[in-house]
Amino acid sequence: MMRVLVVRNDKIGDFMLAWPAFAMLKASFDCHVTALVPGYTRPLAELCPSVDAVLTDPGKSGDAAAQTALLKQLKAGHFDAVICLFSNFRNAKLMWQAGMPQRWAPATKLAQVLYNHRVKQRRSESAKPEYQYNLDLVRAFLASNDITPVEPSTPYLSFNAGELEVFRRQQAEQLGIDAGRSWLLVHAGSGGSANNLSAAQYAALITRLKGQYPAAQPVLTAGPGEEALAEEVAGMAGQEAVVAGGLPLPDFCRLLACGQLFVAGSTGPLHIAAALDVPTVGFFPLRRSATPLRWRPLNSEGRHLAFHPPEGADAEDMRSVDVNTVAERVSSWAVPFLS
């Protein structure tokens, strides 16, 4: 059985957009897939049904002992191939030092000289979604090894329905809300990954959507350090809004799976919700490297709406996004999900 290492050791959103690549590998042939990820992403990698094992990367800031230990793990893994979905000089050097027989990566940056299989992609042009660039790398690897690719499909993440129902009832009790109502999940934090709407914009959007869907229960989700922002939005919105924070990452994913609609900026939680195929509404700047096309979530067709600054506005100015226009579009689109 071929042993394949897949490297995506950057942010949570980037890692989630690698899930179709993992799925294609596992569906296309009998292989053992290991993911190399940072520590904060490891709980997500352990949830991925297409990942057999996980290695934790201490990152460039890790001490010398941690770096040496990682290199030993890479050598001991006896990998037949590595696919670096995220490539930099550190990753390239590690894979070269580990003696990986097949070293695959995009043909960009000086680091490419340390790979023996390179795929021209020009990701800087943002001509297609990030997950498609990842799939193209896997397709090239499979073609080189005479393996026919099997295209993956949504959802990429799911939970047992019975267990999820128990979790939903437990969360409803803790939050003081009704488990039987539709949950409108809103994540106002950004994790610093991209410009986002303001607290006032999110609150106004909740108010407008509640007017259209009075039975929907607004739930503000929050990651570490985002609770204060979520509380601010909930306080401004009123409308029975509650805050769900302090959950470990696997339970945070389960909470997103309980939602009938998820609203957020271009950040990790948006991509987790999309991997679950929960309908998503996303807000994106128009900078070339951050457009709605480049960071399109993994939802199946018709289950994602994207918004960005209007023509003539600054590409990064999310304050120029008109919440009333957004609410009008979302209200009609969300009928199958929130009704």
Q: What is the domain partition of the chain in residue ranges?
A: 2-144, 161-338
Helical H segments across the chain, by residue range:
12-16, 19-28, 42-47, 64-76, 89-97, 130-144, 161-175, 199-212, 227-237, 249-257, 268-275, 323-333, 335-338
CA 228 remoteness from chain centre: 23
Query: Which tokens belong to 50?
Result: 């297409």
**Distances from the Cα of 41 to the Cα of 9, 36, 294, angstroms:** 8, 10, 21
CA distance 107 to 113: 9
Looking at residue 192, what is its pLDDT?
A: 67
Read off φ and ψ for residue 152, nearest 5 degrees: -80, 170
Per-position pLDDT tens, the chain of length 339? 999 999 999 999 999 999 999 999 999 999 999 999 999 999 999 999 999 999 999 999 999 999 999 999 999 999 999 999 999 999 999 999 999 999 999 997 777 899 999 999 988 888 999 999 999 999 999 999 999 999 999 999 999 999 999 999 999 999 999 999 999 999 999 876 668 999 999 999 999 999 999 999 999 999 999 999 999 999 999 989 999 999 999 999 999 999 999 999 999 999 999 999 999 999 999 998 889 999 999 999 999 999 999 988 998 999 999 999 999 999 999 999 998
User: What torsion do the CA atoms of 182, 185, 186, 192 make, to the nearest 10 degrees?
Assistant: -170
DSSP bridge pairs for 218: 184
Encoded amino acid at 26, one letter: K
Domains 2-144 and 161-338 share a fold: yes
Q: What is the CATH number of domain 2-144?
A: 3.40.50.2000
What does pTM read for this prediction? 0.97
> Which residue, among 47, 52, 55, has the nearest Cα to 26 in the 3D structure?
52
CATH topology of domain 161-338: Rossmann fold (3.40.50)
